[in-house]
Amino acid sequence: TWTAVDAYTQEHVHPPTTSNYNVLLDALRNSRDKGLPDIATAPTVAKMYALQCKARGVRHALEFGTLGGYTSIWLATVNPGMQVTSLEINAHHKAVAQENLENAGVADRVTIRLGPALDVLPQLASEIESGAKPRLGFVYIDADKQNNWTYLDRVIALCEPGAVIYVDNIVRGGSLVDPERQDERTFGARQVVENAGKDPRVDCVVMQFVGEKGYDGMLMAVVR
């Protein structure tokens, strides 16, 4: 039923006549053809993020985990005046994402930086501190789950007040609260919920979510 509802609602709210419709499908197809895992953010969620950037008039968005650039294409096509910086550790993913960004006509506004995020962030931080790039109004953390908290903790200082930060894959079919689940990824989800919840720099909520990608959810943090 979740998948059917996604199909029905998307047919109406994101019909094939939408200008970014084909380039988004191209990106998924090319990513699959080039061997990337099928774990891109769901269309409904990626569009919600893009609309949230639009509602806030965000000038600069940051993503941890480019994969094939699917979410970046959503963010950039819905927000023509916004810059997107996206961090990716895998050179093949970056190369495929770059093809997808070019095909989508947004390569001039989306910059992919290759490397471990914790190595790449200091350079971005100095560009933001010097005013060469705007402060972040939107952040999407969707990379190695064990570092969820570290990424959130580090990125807050680069945000403008009122910036919105999302962390993906927090609920994972309920593994968040399943005492049997003692793996690193589940620890990464619990740690970010527990730490963000008591951090005075942000105000947070966790939303459960169902759809074509199953049962999961995200943490939303708003910077004070």
* Of residues 84 and 128, the one with the C-beta less far from Mg ion: 84
Tell me the C-alpha to C-alpha distance, in Å, between residue 142 and each of 63, 67, 147, 168: 7, 9, 10, 5
Residues between 5 and 44 that touch ligand DHB (CB under 6 A): 39
Vertex 64 angle, CA 60 and 70, to 5°? 80
- Output phi, psi for 99, to 5 deg: -60, -45
Query: Smallest distance from the beta carbon of 175 to ligand DHB, in angstroms?
Result: 12
What count of other Cβ atoms lies within 10 Å of the Cβ of residue 202? 22
- Which are the contacts of 179, defined by CB distance < 8 A and separation ≥ 6? none
Query: Smallest distance from the beta carbon of 19 to ligand DHB, in angstroms?
Result: 26
Query: Smallest distance from the beta carbon of 189 to Mg ion, in angstroms?
Result: 11
Residues between 99 and 158 that touch ligand DHB (CB under 6 A): 142
Query: Smallest distance from the beta carbon of 162 to ligand DHB, in angstroms?
Result: 26
* Of residues 63 and 168, the one with the C-beta less far from Mg ion: 168
88 near ligand DHB (CB under 6 A): no
Query: Smallest distance from the beta carbon of 181 to ligand DHB, in angstroms?
Result: 14
Query: Smallest distance from the beta carbon of 102 to Mg ion, in angstroms?
Result: 24
Q: Find the binder of Mg ion among 66, 71, 169, 175 (CB under 5 A).
A: 169
User: How many chain residues interact with ligand DHB (CB under 6 A)?
Assistant: 4
* Of residues 100 and 148, the one with the C-beta less far from ligand DHB: 148
Vertex 220 angle, CA 86 and 199, to 5°? 105
63 near ligand DHB (CB under 6 A): no
Give the pair of three-digit tokens for residue 20: 């970014």
Q: Find the binder of Mg ion among 158, 168, 196, 219 (CB under 5 A).
A: 168
* Of residues 65 and 133, the one with the C-beta less far from ligand DHB: 65
Give the pair of three-digit tokens for residue 101: 């960004």
Q: Find the binder of Mg ion among 128, 138, 142, 223 (CB under 5 A).
A: 142
Handedness of CA 156, 159, 163, 167 (dihedral sign): negative
* Of residues 128 and 166, the one with the C-beta less far from ligand DHB: 166
- Show the beta-strand stretches assigned E in the chain: 60-64, 83-88, 110-114, 136-141, 159-167, 202-211, 214-223
Query: What is the length of the chain?
Result: 224
Binding site for ligand DHB (CB under 6 A): 39, 142, 168-169
